[in-house]
Amino acid sequence: MDDDDKAHKLISRQTVKTRAIVIVPIIYDRESSQKNYEASSRSRIEEAVGLAEAIRLDVIEKLSVNIEKPRPATLLGQGKVEEIGKIIADEKIDLAIIDSSVTPIQQRNLEKAWSCKVIDRTALILEIFGDRARTKEGVLQVELAHLNYQKGRLVRSWTHLERQRGGSGFLGGPGETQIEADRRILQSKIVRIKRELETVVRTRALHRAKRKKVPYPVIALVGYTNAGKSTLFNRLTGADVLAKDMLFATLDPTLRKIVLPHGQTVMLSDTVGFISDLPTHLVAAFRATLEEVVEADIILHVRDMSDAENHAHAQDVLNILSSLGVNVDDPDHIIEVWNKVDLLDDVSLVALHDSARASLNPVVAVSALTGEGVDKLLGIIEKQISGEMVKCQITLKPDEYGLLDWLYKNGEVINKTSKDDGSVIVSANLTGQANDRFDNIIKTKHHD
């Protein structure tokens, strides 16, 4: 098999799955209990395998490696390198995925030792994003992140795989093999893509400015990948956004209008899922997309409460939001949505509801799949957007009867009483914002 055939075998994901091994290095903490170590190891392996399967890799072997002190040359100890090398040779594995950051030197040395392609966590996530991007902006952002990542990784021993690009994906390699030519090509591509991206970003900014003129408040869904954001988005909007039990099932942001219980229209935005150790290249590249989150009136932080690691995942999300300049301690800006309650047993469910009631910040427990708690969530969003419900007594003259329909759509009409002069007294609950809108309608009508 010549070099081009090997390259084609590695990067082709449609016909033959690439055989891969997932290696999770864990820095051993002597103070941590064995139970915590095993739980962390198991959780990280599951997530790393999920990432690999998200781009249809065939994970043949998975293992965690206890590291007390990372080796500068190979990250892993010599004995472990040889042990894994034997597995790779015996199982005819094409790709080794290391669920950690790997330096260019470590990558080159491991590729020499194992005679297979080696990528780290950053490269794997970049590959997933490249596979998921659909809009022009998404494709450009991912390609820019790829190129910036590749700039420091042009020295490779696995050179026969570098001659075929294989699209924008990372596994195909950066292109040519001559380092100086590579650098020039990469830099020219980066400049070109940045220029194209600036045009797309300006267009997005214009669209955002138009929405502000309407104006509809923006509600942004954020959360760890696979927390159920897209399922909740579909539940709230009636849309049909891809929602699978798969990491990074959606990448490009989606916006839809929804109408709150008392008539207020808002825009709901579903964004890319966050993940621990999200590559800085991607945070930078997707900054324009994430501005939907930064500029949102309310952020719904969706958490998968059936996941044992949900507290750690929630902190990862908050850290990324903080890096974007969002005040994560503002209870008027962030609502926690504790999702997947349908997967909890009765004891866990009681404890969850107790925790939600005791929380100082707005929290609502829901099941995006069954719809449980969604009405309560909409009520909390409405309260945050429109203010508390106010009981009003409104007198409508005969020429104002047309406003009754407005009151039914935008409030809770408790009762109405007809008077001898033909007027109607309406008792209704209106949000503070709806009450202000109604006053403006009356003023305009009288002015006309």
Tell me the per-residue pLDDT of 300-353, one tens digit each, with 9 for 90 and over. Answer: 999 999 988 899 889 988 988 888 888 988 888 999 999 999 999 999 999 998
The class of domain 19-132 in CATH terms is alpha beta
The pLDDT score that the predictor gives to residue 77 is 92
Angle at 39 between CA 35 and CA 45, to 5 degrees: 145
pLDDT tens digits, 29-67: 665 555 555 667 888 899 899 889 888 899 999 999 988
Tokens of 408: 């039914």
Please give the annotated binding residues, written as ranges.
223-230, 248-252, 270-273, 339-342, 367-369
Residue 303: Cβ within 10 Å count: 22
Q: What is the domain partition of the chain in residue ranges?
A: 19-132, 133-157+179-213, 218-386, 390-446
Instruction: Give me the helix-helix angle, 432-447 and 374-386, nearest 10°.
Output: 50
Tokens 């780290």 belong to residue:
120
What does the pLDDT average to over 266-278? 80
Residue 279: Cβ within 10 Å count: 21
pLDDT tens digits, 173-193: 544 446 677 778 888 888 998
Amino acid at 361: N
Tokens of 122: 């950053």
- CATH for the stretch 390-446: 3.30.70
Tokens 């997707």 belong to residue:
286
DSSP string, 253-306: -EEEEEE-TTS-EEEEEE-PPB-TT--HHHHHHTHHHHHHHHT-SEEEEEEETT
The pLDDT score that the predictor gives to residue 162 is 43
Distance CA 443, CA 436 (A): 11
Q: How many residues does the chain have?
A: 448
In this model, does residue 373 exceed pLDDT 90? yes
Residue with the larger pLDDT of the pair 315 and 440: 315
Tokens 């997947």 belong to residue:
340
pLDDT tens digits, 235-267: 998 866 555 555 554 555 678 888 888 778 888
The pLDDT score that the predictor gives to residue 38 is 66
Q: In the chain, pLDDT over 70 holds for what percent of residues?
A: 79
CATH superfamily of 218-386: P-loop containing nucleotide triphosphate hydrolases (3.40.50.300)
Please give the annotated binding residues for GTP, written as ranges.
223-230, 248-252, 270-273, 339-342, 367-369
Distance CA 78, CA 196 (A): 46
Please give the annotated binding residues for Mg(2+), written as ranges.
230, 250
| 3-state secondary structure at position 303 | strand
Decide whether 19-132 matches 390-446 in CATH topology.
no
Determine phi and psi for 294, rounding to 5 degrees.
Answer: -60, -40
